[in-house]
Structure 1
Amino acid sequence: MTTTLSPLELQSRMPVWEALSEFWLDTELADYQLDYIARVIAASPYSVEEVRAIHDYEVAPAVSANLMSVAGEWAGFDSEWLNAKCHRCAARRHLHWYRARIWLQRPLFRFFTEHYWLQVVPRVRSLLGARGQDTRDQSAYAATGTSGSQAAGSEIYSQHEEKTDAGA
């Protein structure tokens, strides 16, 4: 049994997948990159806890091998490739064997990413607090059929790409 994401869920997930994949690049992330990740998470319809689960079940299994490679990716993953891999992982997310595999791998995921989470989560909470959105009302997103990442995600990604291009 696999679960398929709806087009709306897929559209909401893609900016989150792309932002979280930066934890797995073979480079140390700068403050502006951590700010970008926090803005994407804050703009998404997901709580911090849901984003952590998305990371553990969908992003980390797709890209964690990058940090174990001799010459890992450091500039960024191809969006099309990344989204296809994360989508496949999301489809397996509710399978018992897959959940058991993630449970076994979670200590490794935490070892490589916990220092980033400790920096990103306060930034997300600060952004949400500044907007008066400390808690997420998922029913509000479902009722309108939109997500915060649909409008803000492409703008945030563009700002991130401009900074990345300027730094190169």
Structure 2
Amino acid sequence: MDAQTLVDERGELWLALAPLWLEREPRETDYARMVEVIQRHALSVNELEWVFRLELAPVLARQQMSVAGEWRHFDDHQLMRRLVAHNLRLTGWRRKTWALFSGLTTMMARHRWNELIERVMIARGEDVPS
């Protein structure tokens, strides 16, 4: 897959989900936008989990831990460049390694992710696990 195909297929979704890693809690409008974008992409909850764990978390967790990171907003262009570069290399052993360590890279945003997935399931009319 080439960079343009990645941007075309995932760019909107990645940028919509990036606020899960900001220093502030997402607002209702942030969650509503995330749900709206997720609905357009028609991915299963399981597929979304892997987008979160493998495609987003390795890049955003590193930026979140950066001393110089800006956590009130993102530079969308720079973020997209990092996400594309990461995902172009996400094959073979790299994919397996990130899957192995995904618990650590998702830890800081997991509670927000769980809230989002619950909202997605409600929007889809699916049963939310207790």
TM over 0.5: yes
**2:121 alignment partner in structure 1:** 125
In 2, the alpha carbon distance for the partners of 1:22 and 1:62 equals 13
For normalisation by structure 1, the TM-score amounts to 0.64
Residue type of the alignment partner of 2:97: R
Cα shift readout 1:17-43 (whole Å, capped 9, x = no counterpart)? 102211111222222212221221112
**Aligned equivalent of 1:29:** 26
Query: Structure 1: which 5+ runs fail to align?
Result: 135-168
1:79-98 pair list within 5 angstroms:
79-96=76-93, 98=94
Q: Which residue of 1 aligns with 2:65?
A: 68
Structure 2: runs of 5+ lacking an equivalent? none
Q: Is the 8 Å Cα contact of residues 35 and 116 (structure 2) preserved in structure 1?
A: yes
SS in 2 for 1:72: coil
User: d(CA) in 1 for partners of 2:63 and 2:7?
Assistant: 24
TM-superposed deviation, 1:6: 6.2
Task: Tell me the TM-score normalised to structure 2 length.
Answer: 0.80
* Cα deviation, residue 124, structure 1: 1.1
User: Which residue pairs with 1:107 in the alignment?
Assistant: 103
Q: Tell me by how many angstroms 1:99 deviates.
A: 2.0
- Change in Cα spacing, 1:46 to 1:5, as seen in structure 2 (3 Å) is farther
Is the 8 Å Cα contact of residues 41 and 48 (structure 1) preserved in structure 2? no
Q: Max radius of gyration: which structure?
A: 1
Report the CA distance between 1:71 and its aligned residue. 5.1
Alpha-carbon RMSD across the aligned residues, in angstroms, is 2.2
Q: Which residue of 2 aligns with 1:4?
A: 2
CA distance in 2, matches of 1:52, 1:76: 23
Deviating runs (4+, > 6 A) in structure 1?
none
Q: What letter matches 1:61 in structure 2?
A: P
Q: Name the structure 1 match of 2:47.
A: 50
Identity in percent: 27
